Amino acid sequence: MGVSREYRRAISEGPTPCDAAGAPALPYPSGWSATAFSHELRPGAVLTRPLAGQDVVLYRTEDGRLRAVRPYCPHLGAHLGLAKVEGEDLTCPFHFFSFGPDGACVRTGYGTEPPRSRLTHLPVHEVNGAVFVWQHHEGREPDWFVPRWHEIGHRPARTAAWELAGNVQEVIENAVDLGHFATLHGWAKAEIDGPVAYDDATFRVAMRAHETAPLVGDFTVDVKVTGYGLGCLHADVHTPRFGLRMCTMVMPSAIGPNRMQFRQLNRLAFDEPGGLPPGVARIVSRTAARLLERPVFRSSCEFTAADFPIWHHKQYQQPPRLAAGDGPIGPFRRWAERFYPEPPGRNVASRRRRGEDEGSTVLS
């Protein structure tokens, strides 16, 4: 008697992704989460994106106003990801009820008096070429924002997005995980330039990488990182020997238990070489950026993607068993606690100490 066809499939092997392994997931962190790039939301566009276990519908009116709303029509529950933008209104696909930019119903599909029903708006913030949506475990309104940064170069930003298993905190935590830059990313040597500074929802860290490459030899890379909550990193990267400057935004968003979307945006420029007339130096700099932006962006994404298999399969370890050379992971995790609900059983003294830690601190 032959083996049943049902059992002829290949045996499962390899690490189980963390969202399928059944490991406890971190709570969804409060704060701003990137859900799209600005260029994805032209006037009239409607997008549905997952965030914290629910859909969010993003749309832009014809005059450019951006809105984020809960996904279901208050009339009879149709999904507004199927809606259309008509001028300044969002029109439900089911009964053609239309809602103005303030969320109020302005007309029905029958020409009758519109009901007093409204869309549920979510705070939305567009900055630096990305669209962020706010969510808070206690329903609080935003009390901090991702600021506008400088824009380098003259070329449009390049972007990429992925979806994988993992926790967003571990993406942001990588900025202070000094040890992994050598073991995973191959930096010959990495060092943090001074203590990590924490200021409410923001942290800053500077580091220097020492690298070696064939035909090039030794060179250094200076990196200044600013993190905003657990959903956004901005890195200024400068390689003095080559005159390369790069701004990179790293934006993980928690979309489900142990699952995230990951967005990256890069801008690139080259220093104008000295010893040349200003006009010629500018042409040389811009030509280098135009010719090299694609391979540099590909290299930047490959650097980031080296972490993907780790995040995809790892389990958040708390407390971690840290060792010398890890970097200041412990202080980072204490700072990150502010973005989560208070864990059950946390005593009053612990909450008081946490409150005293609010504000500007410097930890190493």
Q: Please report how many Cα atoms fall inside a 13 Å half-sphere around the Cα of residue 299, on the Cβ side.
A: 7
Give the whole-angstrom CA distance, residue 345 versus residue 355: 17
Map tokens 């951006």 to a residue: 66
The token duo for 71 is: 């996904």
Give the whole-angstrom CA distance, residue 151 versus residue 308: 27
Task: Give the pLDDT confidence score for residue 363 in this predicted structure.
Answer: 43
Give the whole-angstrom CA distance, residue 246 versus residue 155: 12
Task: Give the pLDDT confidence score for residue 248 in this predicted structure.
Answer: 96
Q: What averages of pLDDT result for each successive group of 10 residues across the chain (364 residues)?
A: 63 89 91 98 98 98 97 97 98 97 96 94 97 96 94 91 97 95 88 92 94 80 96 95 93 97 96 87 88 92 95 94 94 96 60 41 43
Note whether 238 and 221 are within 8 A (CB).
yes
Please report, for residues 21, 37, 93, 105, the alpha-carbon distance to residue 114 in angstroms, rounded to integers and kept in the order given: 48, 34, 16, 6
Please give the helix or strand (H or E) that residue 300 lies within, else none: helix 278-305
Q: Which residue type does 5 have?
A: R
Task: Give the pLDDT confidence score for residue 2 in this predicted structure.
Answer: 56
The token duo for 351 is: 């909450």
Task: Give the pLDDT confidence score for residue 187 in this predicted structure.
Answer: 87
Q: What secondary structure does DSSP assign to 92-128, as a single string? A: -TTT--EE-TTSBEEE-TTSSPPPS-B--EE-EEEET
